[in-house]
Amino acid sequence: MPEPLRIGIAGLGTVGCGVLALLRDNATLLEQRTGRPIEAVAVSSRDRGKDRGVSLDGLDWCDDARALAAHPAVDVVVELIGGSEGIARALSETAFANGKHLVTANKALLAHHGAALADAARQADRHLGYEAAVAGGIPIVKALREGLAGNRIGGVYGILNGTCNYIMTAMHESVQAGQARDFDSVLQEAQELGYAEADPSTDIDGIDAAHKLAILTSVVFGCPVDFAAVHVEGIRHVSALDIGFAIELGYRVKLLGITRDGEAAVTQRVHPCMIRETAPIARVDGVFNAVVAEGDRIGSALFEGPGAGAGPTASAVVADLVDIARGQIMPAFPAGAAGTSRPAAKPMDHHVGAYYIRLMVVDKPGVIAGIAACLRDEQVSVEAMLQRGRNPGELVPVVLTTHEAQESAVVSALAAIDRLDTVLEPPRMIRIEAF
């Protein structure tokens, strides 16, 4: 009988227990597909006595996760602790130092230390698997690295955070139903449903999506994982008013991560976008994730699925274990990812695109002329304008959409508009993406 692949799991939260359950429930199937058993032999977590709803009988318990990484019976360490520093990082480094393979769902760890860990894996001749770190149950890393290996990829974009997608979807549906729920109300609902953490800042401020985008950028373009190069904005400032105007203009608002390989530099950005309601990704709602890859042979390919949860994430973890069991050991990132095969990131103020702008102004003669002058001075051309009714002397919204313009010019124009005494709230801007 072939030797089993022996697994040590660090972190027994939702995903860790999901991995244990999957390995047990589908043990026969996995053995048929790999030619050898895949067995969990050791675990580590903070609370040994906690009832997790899954049996730990027959598993070695390690109080210190680093001891798990040095356990003589463990071939592969599965890191499901989370966080970019501390025990998760120490465990990962210890695993390679002790000749173990490493599989992780930790996007923060990879976003900040991916290059160093990939180098450690290479020196140890071991596998670093991270399918579960990006887009949950969607096998996007394998699709990009293997399935689309014959394509020159010009760009990848997607919905990379289910919490934000749920909030944007719920706000959109409430506006359509005539209820116009605000951001805080929908966020509270997401927390009550378990879709958002008690402290949701990592999700709603775009950081989680940016971690994942930094990883995807390295997979696609062969440049070093560089979280600091990602332009990051969240969704806190998106209001029901903006959602309503987006619907009227034929758009949906989504938080997207976008990476493109331009002539001068690689672009990495995470921010709310207005996209045409007819775009395939506009119809991906709720807590689902979606990624679109643009290849020179395949065209645009959309991958959609659940972005979190015990089952989907465990599925992605086990996909990496299957590779290891089959002996499919490959570099963590494409050739060039540890070097400088791509130029530095393109600054966001160089971005060229169309923009949605919402202003709250005092309704009186000359307001629009003043706004138009600020845009004209920066050579920003208006495509369309919406103004609802007349309410002399009161606050009213004015919405503009622009033709393509350089972001630095739009930002300068908005700064000048903000100084007008008839504009009583900071201007709101959302980029329009043509997909």
Domain's final residue, options 111, 133, 155: 133
The number of angstroms, rounded, from the C-alpha of 425 to the middle of its chain's C-alpha atoms is 30
Does the structure show a pLDDT above 50 at 336?
A: no
Evaluate whether residue 329 is within a structural domain.
no
Distance set, CA 117 to CA 93, 96, 207, 331 (Å): 7, 9, 21, 11
- Of 15-29, 64-78, 154-168, 333-347, which gets the smallest average pLDDT? 333-347
In this structure, are 287 and 395 located in the same domain? no
Residue 335: pLDDT band by 50, 70, 90 thresholds?
Answer: low
Give the pTM: 0.92
Cα-based torsion angle of the residue sequence 38, 40, 41, 46 in order, rounded to the nearest 10 degrees: 160
> Are 210 and 111 a contacting pair, CB within 8 Å?
yes
Residue 215: predicted pLDDT: 95
Greater confidence (432 vs 224) lies with 432
What percent of the chain has a predicted confidence (pLDDT) above 70?
Answer: 96
Beta bridge partners of 406: 352
In this structure, are 125 and 201 located in the same domain? no
Domain's final residue, options 133, 160, 187: 133
In this structure, are 21 and 111 located in the same domain? yes
Evaluate whether residue 192 is within a structural domain.
yes
Evaluate whether residue 217 is within a structural domain.
yes
Residue 343: predicted pLDDT: 52
The mean pLDDT value for 269-284 works out to: 96
Q: How many domains does one find in the chain? A: 3
What percent of the chain has a predicted confidence (pLDDT) above 90?
Answer: 76
Evaluate whether residue 326 is within a structural domain.
no
In this structure, are 234 and 86 located in the same domain? no
Closest by CA position to 434, among listed 391, 388, 403: 403
Does the structure show a pLDDT above 60 at 255?
A: yes
> Which member of 212, 254, 346, 364 is catalytic?
212
Evaluate whether residue 395 is within a structural domain.
yes
Residue 97: pLDDT band by 50, 70, 90 thresholds?
Answer: very high
Q: What is the CATH number of the domain that holds 302?
A: 3.30.360.10
Evaluate whether residue 334 is within a structural domain.
no
Evaluate whether residue 226 is within a structural domain.
yes
In this structure, are 262 and 357 located in the same domain? no
Domain that holds residue 65: 5-133
Residue 56: predicted pLDDT: 87
The mean pLDDT value for 305-319 works out to: 90
d(CA 129, CA 177): 44
Residue 338: predicted pLDDT: 43
The mean pLDDT value for 418-434 works out to: 94
In this structure, are 302 and 420 located in the same domain? no
What average pLDDT does the chain have?
91
In this structure, are 158 and 288 located in the same domain? yes
Evaluate whether residue 373 is within a structural domain.
yes
The mean pLDDT value for 241-262 works out to: 95
d(CA 297, CA 165): 30
**Residue type for position 218:** S
Domain's final residue, options 306, 326, 341: 306
> Are 261 and 151 a contacting pair, CB within 8 Å?
no
Residue 2: predicted pLDDT: 85
Tens of pLDDT, residue by residue over 379-402, are: 999 999 998 766 676 789 999 999
In this structure, are 129 and 151 located in the same domain? no
Q: Per DSSP, which regions of 117-159 are E strands? A: 128-129, 153-159
Residue 100: predicted pLDDT: 95
Residue 263: predicted pLDDT: 66
In angstroms, the first-to-last Cα distance of the chain is: 52
Residue 365: pLDDT band by 50, 70, 90 thresholds?
Answer: confident
62-85 in b/e burial notation, b at 16+ Cβ within 10 A? Answer: beebbbbbbbeebbbbbbbbbebe
In this structure, are 149 and 192 located in the same domain? yes
Residue 239: pLDDT band by 50, 70, 90 thresholds?
Answer: very high
The mean pLDDT value for 183-212 works out to: 94
In this structure, are 164 and 289 located in the same domain? yes
In this structure, are 111 and 199 located in the same domain? no
- 107 in catalytic set: no
Residue 287: predicted pLDDT: 92
Q: What is the CATH number of the domain that holds 369?
A: 3.30.70.260
In this structure, are 118 and 174 located in the same domain? no
Does the structure show a pLDDT above 80 at 262?
A: no
